Amino acid sequence: MYIYNEIMLNNNLRSAIGKNLKKIRQQKGISQDRLSKLSDLSLNTVVTVESGANPNPTIDTLSKIAKALGVGVDDLIK
């Protein structure tokens, strides 16, 4: 049960990061391609984080995305 709960928590967090990223990015009128350039990340990285397909985005990746969007990392993971 513990492992299942941990997996569900991780899935929910990934889902929250992707949803928050997409919401903030769209509110700011920035495309995924533009965000990738602003954050100095590959387009694939931005797409996989936003879609939740990247199971463990690094804090460095989240920091670059947050900085490019002008928000804190906590805004992406809340």
Write the pLDDT tens digit of every residue in 31-71.
999 999 999 999 999 999 999 888 679 999 999 999 999 99
2-77: what CATH class? mainly alpha
pLDDT-derived band at 2, boundaries 50, 70, 90: very low
**Cα 57 to Cα 76: distance, rounded to the nearest angstrom:** 11
Structure tokens at 37: 């350039």
Domain ranges of the chain: 2-77
pLDDT at 78: 84
- Please check whether residue 78 is in contact with residue 23, taking contact to mean a CB–CB distance below 8 angstroms: no
Residue type, 18: G
Q: 2-6, 19-23, 43-47, 57-61: which range is least confident on average?
A: 2-6
**Which one has a higher pLDDT value, 19 or 5?**
19
Which tops the pLDDT comparison, 72 or 6? 72
